[in-house]
Amino acid sequence: MASYLIRRLLIGIPVLLGVTVINFFIINLAPGSPADLYLSPTATPEDVARTEAELGLNQPIFVQYVRWLTQLLHGDLGVSFQNREPVAQLIGDRIGPTLLLMGTSLVVAYLIAIPIGIFAARRKNTAADYSVVGASFLGISVPHFFLGLAVIYLFALQFGWFPTGGMLTLGRGGGFVDRVEHLVLPVTVLATAIAANMVRYVRSSMIDAFGQDYIRTARAKGLGGFTITNKHALRNALIPVVTVIGVDLSALIGGAIVTEQIFQWPGIGLLTIQSIGSRDYSVLMGINLIAAIAVFAANLLTDVAYAVVDPRVAYA
Amino acid sequence: MRGARTILTREIVCIPFGRPSPDRTVSSSTPPWRIALSVNAPVVLRVENLRTEFGTDQGPVTSVDEVSFSLAAGETLCLVGESGSGKSVTALSIMGLLADNGRVVSGSVVFEDEDLVRLPENRLREIRGNSIAMIFQEPMTSLNPVLTIGDQLAESMILHLGLTKAQARQRVIELLDKVGIPRAPEVVDDYPHRLSGGMRQRAMIAMALSCEPKLIIADEPTTALDVTIQAQILKLMRDLSAETGTAMIFITHDLGVVAEMADRVAVMYAGQVVEQADVYTLFDEPKHPYTIALLRSIPHLSTDERLASISGSVPSLLYMPTGCRFHERCPQAMDRCVGERPELLPIAGDHDVRCWLYDEAAQPQSSGAAVPA
């Protein structure tokens, strides 16, 4: 297991390097210069050239990339074009709220999806099952921005139960209850998509498990439905479900960008949108790197989890 | 060439030329009472007129019809027949383990004065794995891959015998040892994938024995195993059933296995029992044309004759022939066989046949098995 992990981590280095190369060149393909945004409309071409030189944007792209990479290897993500703050500091300030939002959404989604998936599987091809499948189809199909605006309209504006956005109410000190109140709506939006997807995985893999010979063996032992479902079937059904967690995390990062924007959640997603708007390439590169590391780590974690839930899997 | 090899492996390993060998039941491990069995041993299980249907898109399909047999304590009954003849469905009907679309429509399965067909599910659960245990065909898939052998074997003892985890674990090790699994104290913590097919089937047998059942139903327990392992497993089951006095229903399509295992044999065809007799009578004096054809289709080493086969195929459950279900393939079919359904009637002592050829010899009053056509 240890040697497997080390090998996987070593493979990760070229992968991450490749991701940064692609990101760097794609970002630089975008039309317009960041300098345009930092100068007044009356700036002369000389002013633009001077600003670009200050930001290092007048050099060939690969030189810029090598410089960025050299900085990175020295542990420096660079500074923001826009406000000269260190990128590491900017990301560091925003990562906590994002982890809170994504983590809560993931946990809530699984807590909802697994029991519902089991419920639907046990009532396969009944009205209850069809309702679950239909609802999950709806949940997968509805876009984040639409669901976000819909819940804001209903639960914040019409009913006034929850705030429309942000992470704390100013002046209330940001206690636990306040946090939770702010979390409910964005978590609803993010968790809906993940849970809707997960329900279908759990349902189909439970149905598959129920049809296996070892379930018949368990019934022949005289075991009750509860033990058969939650011990014999679920343990097996979770194996394919675990593999989806890595995929879910990538989707979650994408979803968080939109959701944070809608709810003005002060996390990485909001920072991403702001940085795109201000052509703040150095911040974007930092965010991309963090996101790539997160997805890589999630996939590694998935493989480890796979070996934990399935005794037949052993890494050497 | 392929045929020749089949003959070799089968006969060398398990078929003593297609009939039970006379010295079979007097092996050193067999107690003497076992030879004179079924004369006065109490009846453990009595299946009467069992009829099982499955709901399908084309409407209900009768898979098992008019199946009757009984089983004395310590006795081994072999249910033999082709694929689709209703052997496994009969077993699952007894256990109440039919798939969701299947149900027993009529008949009774009396086990120790209780009719299993009419028992509520929670009472059935107390019986399953406890006084009736089952061994399945596929040892590779019948054990749960994510639970240890010890966990899976301990479950029924914790449930039915009220043992603690530690007690159950100790007993699992004893059982594994008893069924001939080496290194039992280590295997108890292994997952099934660490064991070979033969070892897994031994573990399944240990599981079946764990609560000392009165009846074991073994559904083709050796079909998925290679022949040497098959011979070992058969010997193990024979020895264990002799030792514990457990009655056994042994389902197989292999007449070699029947010759090895059975005290009595019920031959099934198209969901019905067509002939029933003790194993020696059945092999020496088969009466039903199907049984005769089946026995003629066993390859023999001693002759150069072409292997006999039964023409045609088993009828579809959806289009069951009228009259005798075998008449379309029967070399001795008469007009009567097309229109009238024969009943399973005794022709001599313990020998029952479902065939119009033996209408004269039959004694209809002495069996509860017959049903008006």
Tens of pLDDT along B242-270? 888 889 999 998 888 888 888 999 999 88
Instruction: For residue B132, tell me if it sits in a domain.
Output: yes
Q: Between chain A and chain B, how many beta carbons pairs sit less than 8 Å apart?
A: 74
Instruction: For residue B216, tell me if it sits in a domain.
Output: yes
Domains belonging to chain A, first-starting first, are: 2-59 (no CATH), 94-309 (1.10.3720.10)
Question: Looking at the 3D structure of chain B, how many domains does it have?
Answer: 1
Instruction: For residue B207, tell me if it sits in a domain.
Output: yes
Parent domain of B143: 2-40+73-97+119-283
> Which long-range CB contacts under 8 A does B32-40 form with residues at least 24 apart?
B33/B74, B34/B74, B34/B242, B37/B72, B37/B74, B37/B75, B37/B263, B38/B72, B38/B75, B38/B263, B38/B264, B38/B278, B38/B350
Structure confidence at residue B28 (pLDDT)? 42
When pLDDT is cut at 50, 70 and 90, the band that residue A131 belongs to is very high
Tens of pLDDT along A245-285? 877 887 888 888 888 888 888 888 888 888 888 788 888 88
3-class state of residue A304 by DSSP: helix
Cα separation of A255 and A266, whole Å? 15
When pLDDT is cut at 50, 70 and 90, the band that residue B363 belongs to is low
A221 to B129: CB separation less than 8 angstroms, yes or no: yes
Tens of pLDDT along A60-103? 888 888 888 888 888 787 777 777 788 888 888 888 888 888 88
Tokens 């119009």 sit on residue = B356
Question: What would the two tokens of residue B229 be?
Answer: 């392992």
Instruction: For residue B57, tell me if it sits in a domain.
Output: no
Rounded to a whole number of angstroms, the distance from the CA of A179 to the nearest CA of chain B is 40
Structure confidence at residue A174 (pLDDT)? 65
Beta bridge partners of B265: B78, B277
Q: How many CA atoms lie within 13 A of B365 on its CB side?
A: 0
A223 to B159: CB separation less than 8 angstroms, yes or no: yes
Instruction: For residue B238, tell me if it sits in a domain.
Output: yes
Instruction: For residue B337, tell me if it sits in a domain.
Output: no
Instruction: For residue B81, tell me if it sits in a domain.
Output: yes
Say what the ipTM of the complex is. 0.79
Mean pLDDT of A173-187: 79
| The model's pTM | 0.78
Residue B192, judged by CB atoms within 10 A of its CB (0-12, 13-18, 19+), counts as buried
Q: Best mutation site among A124, A205, A210, A214 for testing chain B: the one with the most B CBs within 10 Å?
A: A214
Whether A236 has its CB under 8 Å from any CB of chain B: the answer is yes
Instruction: For residue B291, tell me if it sits in a domain.
Output: no
Whether A10 has its CB under 8 Å from any CB of chain B: the answer is no
**What do you get for the CA distance between the two ends of chain A, in Å?**
6
Where residue B161 sits, what CATH number does that domain have? 3.40.50.300
B146 to A216: CB separation less than 8 angstroms, yes or no: no
Cα separation of A287 and A277, whole Å? 14
Whether A217 has its CB under 8 Å from any CB of chain B: the answer is yes
Rounded to a whole number of angstroms, the distance from the CA of B239 to the nearest CA of chain A is 23
Q: What backbone torsions phi and psi does residue B23 show, to the nearest 5 degrees?
A: -90, 5
Which chain A residue has the Cα nearest residue B135? A217
Q: What backbone torsions phi and psi does residue B272 show, to the nearest 5 degrees?
A: -125, 155
Mean pLDDT score of chain A = 84
Whether A131 has its CB under 8 Å from any CB of chain B: the answer is no
Sign of the alpha-carbon torsion through B149, B150, B155, B157? positive
